[in-house]
Structure 1
Amino acid sequence: MGKAGKALRQVLEAYSISQNKLAVTMGIGRSTMHYWFNDIRDPSAEAVLEIRKGLRKINPEAAQEFIQLYLDESDESEE
């Protein structure tokens, strides 16, 4: 699916942040976080911003890395 789920998984694992901790911080259900984390459903553009805000509260470096991974276009052809 999308890059947001992959970026989310990578950041949560790298910074040892649980899905539940981020869900609680964001004020969303664990099932929603599960869907995003396991790339079952893509978060909306608004949700990506909320993920960044939630991560920023837990670990600002994780928030920055999430956005960098999400916006990275290096895997796309530049022809």
Structure 2
Amino acid sequence: MGRANQALKEVLETYRISQNRLAVMLEIDRSAVFKWVRDQREPSSETIVEITKALKQLNPDAARAFVQLYLGDILEDEAGGEG
């Protein structure tokens, strides 16, 4: 499963956000969200930004979790002086 797909699936389940609710926020058909969650299609980088913005409106904690799951500790690793 793609990293964005897995992150989205986990966040929607954890924060009890329906696929339909996210689709409405994104002004897209619910089938697109279904395909992302089922790993049938990978969201584009632009779409990931829009997903994050929509999640932030629905639940800021969900948006933070999505970014953390998708990007991991990329910034923390750099701040720790590695590299």
> TM-score w.r.t. structure 1 length?
0.89
For residue 30 of structure 1, what is the aligned residue in structure 2? Answer: 30
Whole-angstrom CA distance in 1 between matches of 2:45 and 2:63: 15
| Cα offset, 1:42, TM superposition | 0.4
Regions of 4+ moved over 6 Å: none
Measure, in 2, the Cα distance between the counterparts of 1:21 and 1:33. Answer: 10
- Deviations 1:15-65 (CA, angstroms, capped at 9, x unpaired): 000000000011111111011011111000000000001101100000010
Q: SS of the counterpart of 2:17?
A: coil
| Distance across 2 between alignment mates of 1:45 and 1:32 | 15
**Letter matched to residue 20 of structure 1:** N
Secondary structure of the equivalent of 1:23?
A: helix
Question: Which consecutive residues of structure 2, in runs of 5 or more, have no partner in the other structure?
Answer: 75-83
CA RMSD across the alignment: 1.4
Aligned to 1:77: none
Q: What is the percentage of aligned positions where both structures have the same residue? A: 51
Give 1:72 deviation, angstroms: 1.7
1:44-59 correspondence to structure 2 within 5 Å: 44-59=44-59
Q: How many residues align?
A: 74
Q: TM-score, normalised by structure 2?
A: 0.85
Larger Rg: 2
